[in-house]
Amino acid sequence: MKFKTLAAVMGLALALPFAAQAQKTLKYAHFQPAKDDQPKHVAALAFKEHVEKATNGSIKVEIFPAGQFGKDQPTMEALRLGTLEMAVAHDGAIGTVHKPIGVLGIPFLYDNHEHAWRVYDSEWLKGFSDDMIKKTGIRALGFADNGVRHFTNSLRPIQTPADMKGMKIRIQPSPVFKALVESLGASASAIPWGELPTALQQKVVDGQENGVTNILAASLYQHQKYATLDGHVWSVHGYLVSDRFYTRLTDVEKKAVNEGVQKAMAIHRKMTAEQDKNAKKILEGVGMQVYEPTAAQIAEFRKLAQPPVRQWAESEIGKNYVDALFKAVEATRK
């Protein structure tokens, strides 16, 4: 009896190192503060809870918020190398390693939030992800919102493209946004995000374009009297995983990760969309004069802006990427 007990204990002792080796660590990076009003972080916590529970602890999720794992390019390179297992990154960061994400910068693509989500959840995602895996080793599991982008300025209300003529508009360093702004009659100035509030205060530029979250986060409303809710571009956050890590998961673990991403994205989309859908009230609450263009006015913006940006994307990114996106947009339109 003592021999059997001793053998059982020895067997358990031998098994423990293998059990420890079997546990996988999933480092999860994102760029928002670790606060309960930040969509990325709330979503990350939901992902962690689901994955650890669904895998009975075989995957341990470690969250690195607020850019702790590095800025845009270092984070994406870590995913490529497999030293980081997962990240939720905005389209600008993704573009540092995979240029085709730029097609999502084509303006005035969607009718509303739900239409955008139908596109991101369609077969288009699989095609985009397969291409990204092949070229970067990074798998895209889904896309959530990074806010709908609008124009603000300090000169006058923008109701039609004609109102933008002669304005100096700050853009992020991007040929897509340069083509967009210039197609509407304004001049585009690429200014780093950290320098934008000062540039607006000193009248280096008259206006800028961003989502409500960023307008509030950097207090841009202090130097911008007018906002136009034109919704020209729907920025995204990609839920990305190192394919090297993902392909080594068991079927149960893959299922848990996929389900965790869906739960996280549902939270992320809801929180961001609620802010977008209440943009007028929120921006008026901080003292801005807000204009909501009519459908006919949006059509005028689209007519001027979409063709040149689409042409640029076809030339610089590839017509096949642009055609695939527009096909998905039309197929999911209700």
Q: Cα-atom radius of gyration of the chain, to the nearest Å?
A: 23
> What value does the mean pLDDT take over residues 203-223?
93
Is 15 a residue whose pLDDT tops 80? no
Kindly indicate the confidence band of residue 212, based on its pLDDT and cuts at 50, 70 and 90: very high
Host H or E run for residue 183: helix 175-183
Quick one: pLDDT band at residue 11, thresholds 50, 70, 90? low
Give residue 172's pLDDT band: very low, low, confident or very high (50, 70, 90): confident
Mean pLDDT value across residues 205-212: 96
- The SS3 assignment for 150 reads strand
From 73, 90, 89, 81, select the one nearest 29 (Cα to Cα).
89
pLDDT (average), residues 310-332 = 97
Q: How confident is the model at residue 213 (pLDDT cuts 50, 70, 90)?
A: confident
pLDDT tens track for 175-192: 889 999 999 999 999 998
Which tokens go with 266?
């549902």
Q: How many CB atoms lie within 10 A of CB 220?
A: 22
Which pLDDT tens digit goes with each residue over 21-70? 479 999 999 998 899 989 999 999 999 999 999 999 999 999 999 999 88
CA distances from 278 to 72, 199, 212 (A): 29, 27, 9
Residue 6 has pLDDT above 90, yes or no: no
**Backbone angle region of 56, left / alpha / beta, with phi > 0 → left and psi within -120 to 50 → alpha:** left
Please write the tens of the pLDDT for every residue from 143-162.
999 999 999 999 999 999 99
Cα 106 from Cα 112, distance rounded (Å): 15
**58 phi and psi, to 5 degrees?**
-70, -20
Using pLDDT thresholds of 50, 70 and 90, give the confidence band for residue 7.
very low
pLDDT tens readout for residues 56-105: 999 999 999 999 988 889 999 999 999 999 999 999 899 999 999 999 99
Residue-averaged pLDDT of the chain: 93
In 3-state terms, what secondary structure has residue 128? helix
N-to-C CA span, the chain: 73
Alpha-helical (H) ranges within the chain are: 2-22, 39-54, 72-81, 91-94, 113-120, 123-136, 175-183, 196-201, 212-217, 243-246, 251-277, 279-285, 295-313, 319-331
pLDDT of res. 37: 87
- The count of other CB atoms within 10 Å of the CB of residue 107 is 25
**What is the tens place of the pLDDT at every residue in 108-140?**
999 999 999 999 999 999 999 999 999 999 999
What is the average per-residue pLDDT within 310-333? 97
